[in-house]
Every structure is written in structure tokens, then in C-alpha cells.
Amino acid sequence: MRPEEYAPLSQPLSQRESRFEAPTEVDGAVALLQAEEGARILAGGTDLLVQMRLGAGSPALFVDVKRIPRLMAMTVDASGLTLGAAVPAAEIFENEAIKDLWPGLAEAIYLIGSTQVQGRATVSGNLCNASPGADSVPALIACRAIAVIVGPKGEREVAIEEFTTGPGQTVLERGELVVEFKIPVPAPHASDAYQRLTPRTEMDIAVVGVGVSLELDGDGVVSSARVVLGAVGPKVICAEASAAALVGTRLEDAALEAVAEAASAAATPIDDKRGTAVYRKRVTGVLAKRVARVAYERAKSR
């Protein structure tokens, strides 16, 4: 739904009419979203309600998805993590199995907002808001996460790197919602990491965010890797040349320089109040090296 389709903001928030529904089944949510053109999914509301306050207008219908059991479930088993779309951030980064198996994902989600925000905010909201600076997205891509989407035509799966099509734009069609994420268990000597740079130490948006995952062979040589960049392009970027520079190495100095150079080259930032494009490209390379080192040490110790 485009902002111009919202109800006008000429009245105070309290006087505008919006319906609120809280279905308890996925099919119920799909039916509501399909029937009402102005419907909007409400997960934690930490983006949606702020955007309304900033003038985006009220949707005709809020569809609160937090009473749907499938969206609130979280399981870790032999196949990996199945993360319900509406599980709040705090429950995810406090989960011991998640911290152990996907520490980079846990640390990315931990960076979202304050304690209050973390009690509400969800990974689906972070992803579907489609901001290039969303902290969980580079980490999800590094972990090879898949979004499970349900809509009027049934269920489909989309890799997170293909989910966002531009700022505020996703592959979701009318009537569709994300119901859960699937993340495979990392190989025995594999791990991940995420770091970001912000002007303030917390409660700020990333100037650059970098997620790295890598897998080692029995000799400590990187056999596969992902390097994923946030906040330095219109959408999150998979820096393939940077990842390729890690493969076949034990992160020797020359390899790390190549990783940094390729990450900087892949970044396509703009100048804004958080930094110039030149600065952000440089920071991208520095962070890519740092995050790769952390992921490598974690992978070695698994």
C-alpha cells in the first residue's frame, strides 16, 4: 500500500477511524488482507506506528498477527531454526540455542532499539519495512535464511536476499504475509558475526552494517563464505567478490585486505547526515575485515 492510499492525517490520530482485527489463524489473516485494500499487518508496531506519527496516515485496517500461534512459535531442531514471524526480538537473542548456533544473528537482533523496543519488535517487521539499514537483514542473509510466505495462492519460500526489491519495497503481493523464517543448522566448523557502525553507541541507525558467515575445512581453511552489507545501497548487498576473497584462506593479512577492498567496492552508499559516501565505503571495508575475523574465530572454536 502506498502512503497516498492511507486515510488522511488531517485529524488527530485518536479521531481517525481504523479497524483492528487480531485473527488466530494464518488463513484468517490472509482473508482480511485480501478483502481490505487498506489493510496493514501490525507486528510489533515499532516501525508502523512511528511512521503513522510522522505523517504516513492510518491504514483502514490493522491486522495484528501476534495471536497466530504459528507466527509466535520458535523451534530449534536437527533441521535448523524455524522462527515465527512475530516472535519479539528479546525472545530471540535471549535464546541459548540461537546464541550458540547463530551468534551473528543474535547479535544483530540485539542491536535493534532499546529494551522496550526489543520487547515488541520482530524480525518480520524489520525485514518487511524494507529499510536498507535494517540490522537483522544482513545477518539473516549471512545465515542463508528463507522467508515462508502465505497468501491467497498458497505458501511459497523466498530467500531473504531476494525479498527486498528496493527501499520500502518487497516481493510481497496483496494478501500475503511472512509467517516464519527457516535457517539451516551451520556445518560443524561454521559460524557467523554481525557488527555495525552508528554515530551514537546505541538507538541509532547503521552507517554501515556487515554480516559474515563462513565455513572451514578440517585444516582451518575457509571453504565457503558470505559477506553481506547493510545501509550502503538501496537494499542490502551480497558482496560476492569479498566472500570469494575469504575462500581458500586462513584470513592471512593479504586475504583480509582483499576482503576489505572488495567490500568497499561493492558498497554503493549515498552522502547523508550520517556520513559521506567516501567515508561509508571506507568503513565498509574496515568492518568487513573485523567481522570476518570474529566469524573465523567462532568457526574455529566450534
Ligand X SMILES: Cc1cc2nc3c(=O)[nH]c(=O)nc-3n(C[C@H](O)[C@H](O)[C@H](O)COP(=O)(O)OP(=O)(O)OC[C@H]3O[C@@H](n4cnc5c(N)ncnc54)[C@H](O)[C@@H]3O)c2cc1C
The contact set with ligand X (CB under 6 A) reads: 40-48, 50, 65, 85, 111-114, 117, 120-122, 124-126, 128-129, 134-135, 172, 177-178, 203
Q: Look up residue 191 and give its three cell numbers.
A: 559460524
Nearer to ligand X, 131 or 264 (CB): 131
Quote the least distance from Cβ 128 to ligand X, whole Å.
3
Quote the least distance from Cβ 265 to ligand X, whole Å.
25
Q: What are phi and psi of 78, to 5 degrees?
A: -60, -25
Q: What are phi and psi of 222, to 5 degrees?
A: -70, 125
Quote the least distance from Cβ 300 to ligand X, whole Å.
29
Nearer to ligand X, 81 or 85 (CB): 85
Q: Which residue is nearest to ligand X (CB)?
A: 125
Q: Look up residue 26 and give its three cell numbers.
A: 494464518
Asked if 124 and 85 touch (Cβ cutoff 8 Å), the reply is yes
Quote the least distance from Cβ 134 to ligand X, whole Å.
4
Ordered DSSP codes for 197-219? E-SSSSSS--SEEEEEEEEE-TT
Nearer to ligand X, 203 or 254 (CB): 203
Asked if 109 and 120 touch (Cβ cutoff 8 Å), the reply is no
Nearer to ligand X, 45 or 187 (CB): 45
Q: Give, in degrees to the nearest 5, the angle at Cα 86 between 85 and 89.
A: 100
How far apart CA 205 and CA 49 sit, in angstroms, is: 18
Nearer to ligand X, 207 or 245 (CB): 207
Asked if 216 and 298 touch (Cβ cutoff 8 Å), the reply is no
Q: What are phi and psi of 160, to 5 degrees?
A: -60, -35
Nearer to ligand X, 65 or 237 (CB): 65
Nearer to ligand X, 222 or 283 (CB): 283
Nearer to ligand X, 129 or 249 (CB): 129
Quote the least distance from Cβ 20 to ligand X, whole Å.
13
Quote the least distance from Cβ 29 to ligand X, whole Å.
9
Quote the least distance from Cβ 281 to ligand X, whole Å.
21
Which of 99, 67, 96, 101 is CA-nearest to residue 84? Answer: 67
Q: Where are the alpha helices (DSSP H) in the chain?
A: 26-35, 48-51, 69-72, 89-93, 96-101, 103-110, 115-118, 123-128, 136-142, 240-246, 253-266, 277-300
CA dist list (Å): 232 to 74, 95, 133: 31, 30, 8
